[in-house]
Amino acid sequence: MIRSLFTILILLPITAYALSELHHSQQEAEAKQHFDEEQEVLYLPNGDALHILSFGYRNILSDILWFKTVSYFGKHYKSDQNYEWFNHMCHLVTDLNPQATHVYEFCGTMLSWELNKPERAIDVLTKAIETHPKSWKFLYLRGFTYMYFLEDGDSAKQDLVAAARLPGAPAFVTTLAAQKMTLSDPHSAVAFLTEALQNTTDPAQAAVLRSKLRVLETQIFQQQQKRGNAS
């Protein structure tokens, strides 16, 4: 109990100072570009600076920043869809806590599907693979991003085959790795979104995935109608 209280007393001024530094850095950035009047974004140049400020309490500070990141994403999803700082915030959190697998998954998925920045998603997922080389999930996510968004069949095949060989990989990964890549086929995307929906607990992420899923299902329905009319 005493140790926990001591830890809290140490973290309070550290966190206050960190937030003060973040606020100061953001004010400097506003000279170049307009940001939200509520000053919602916490900005620092890199995770090393946060490491110094945290005095070793990296995981605790990463949790604080992750909460801020999810709040930032959810707010902008409901308003202007301006996610300018989302990618940077994702990297800050994973720099502080490379073991936060849920952060890689969330950021890697949303960067492609909502922000339409698959190259940034590849960066996040590559970072995840380097930290967690035995995780099939990140190879699968990167492989799908290569296939569906970047139309890079060779890179996709390489990642999906590697994912299928890892322990715990579900059957659908093996099936996807074995089949001929059809880059424009929305059925694979529907399977991806359905699986992602089953594994998310974040309301904003779920809303994005459902929205994209409805679009794809409509696309498939229209394709079926065209084939029916043609016959």
**CB neighbour list of residue 216: distance below 8 Å, 6 or more residues apart:** 186, 189, 190, 193
Would you say residue 203 lies in a domain? yes
Q: Rounded CA gap, 193 and 90, in Å? A: 21
Q: Are 156 and 181 in contact (CB under 8 A)?
A: yes
Predicted pLDDT of residue 150: 93
Predicted pLDDT of residue 118: 98
Predicted pLDDT of residue 134: 96
Which of 145, 159, 69 minimizes the C-alpha distance to 109? 145
Predicted pLDDT of residue 219: 86
Give the CA dihedral 103, 68, 73, 170, nearest 10 degrees. 20
Give how many domains the chain has, as a whole number.
Answer: 1
Predicted pLDDT of residue 59: 83
pTM given for the model: 0.75
Each residue of 133-167: b (16+ CB within 10 Å) or e?
A: eebbbbbbbbbbbbbbbbebeebbbbbbbbbbebe
Q: Rounded CA gap, 210 and 204, in Å? A: 10
Would you say residue 170 lies in a domain? yes
Amino acid at 171: A
Q: Rounded CA gap, 121 and 126, in Å? A: 8
Q: Which two tokens stand for residue 97?
A: 């806590």
Predicted pLDDT of residue 38: 47
**CB neighbour list of residue 44: distance below 8 Å, 6 or more residues apart:** 18, 21, 22, 25, 50, 92
Would you say residue 216 lies in a domain? yes
Predicted pLDDT of residue 171: 84
pLDDT averages per 10-residue partition of the chain, 231 residues: 51 55 54 50 58 72 92 94 94 93 98 98 98 97 93 91 92 78 70 86 91 90 81 66
Q: Are 213 and 190 in contact (CB under 8 A)?
A: yes
Q: Rounded CA gap, 78 and 222, in Å? A: 29
Would you say residue 2 lies in a domain? no
Predicted pLDDT of residue 39: 57
Would you say residue 135 lies in a domain? yes
CA-derived radius of gyration, the chain = 20
- For residue 113, give the CATH number of its domain: 1.25.40.10
The range of the structural domain enclosing residue 213 comes to 58-230
Predicted pLDDT of residue 139: 97
Q: Are 1 and 21 in contact (CB under 8 A)?
A: no
Would you say residue 172 lies in a domain? yes
Would you say residue 86 lies in a domain? yes
Would you say residue 97 lies in a domain? yes
